[in-house]
Amino acid sequence: MSEQTLRVGVVGVGFAGQTHLKSYKQIPGVEVVAIAGKEPELLQKVADEANVPHRYSDWEDLVARDDLDAVSVGTPTFLHAPVTIAALESGRHVLSEKPLARNSAEAEAMVAASVKADRVLHTAFNHRRRGDVATLKKHIDTGSLGRIYYAKASWLRRSGIPGLGSWFTNKEMSGGGPLIDLGVHVLDMALHLLGEPEVLSASASTYAELGPKGRGGSLFSAKQQVNSAYEVEDIATAFLRLAGGGTLLLETSWAGYAGTGDSFGVTLFGSEGGAQIDVRNYAQEDTLRIFTDIADTPAEIRPEVRRGEGHLAVVRSFVETVRSGEWDNHHGEEGLSRTRVIDACYASALAGHEVSLDSVRSS
Average pLDDT for 123-130: 97
Nearest Cα residue to 272 out of 299, 291, 247: 291
Q: How far apart are CA 127 and CA 137, in angstroms?
A: 13
Tens of pLDDT, residue by residue over 280-330, are: 999 999 999 999 999 999 999 999 998 899 999 999 999 999 999 999 999
In the prediction, which pLDDT does 123 show?
98
pLDDT digits (tens, 9 = 90+) for 129-151: 999 999 999 999 999 999 999 99
Q: Tell me the average pLDDT across 213-240.
A: 89
Three-state SS at 279: strand
What would the pLDDT profile of 73-86 be if each residue is shown by its tens digit? 999 999 999 999 99
Percentage of the chain with pLDDT > 90?
93
Q: Which stretch of 90-99, 217-226, 323-332, 350-359 has the lowest confidence by average pLDDT?
A: 217-226
- Domains in the chain and their CATH numbers? 6-126+311-320 (3.40.50.720), 131-307 (3.30.360.10)
Give the model confidence (pLDDT) of 229-285 as tens digits: 999 999 999 999 999 999 999 999 999 998 888 999 999 999 999 999 999 999 999
Does residue 169 come out as left (phi exceeding 0), alpha (psi in the -120 to 50 range) or beta? alpha
Per DSSP, the residues of 175-206 read: SSSHIIIIIHHHHHHHHHHTT-PPEEEEEEEE
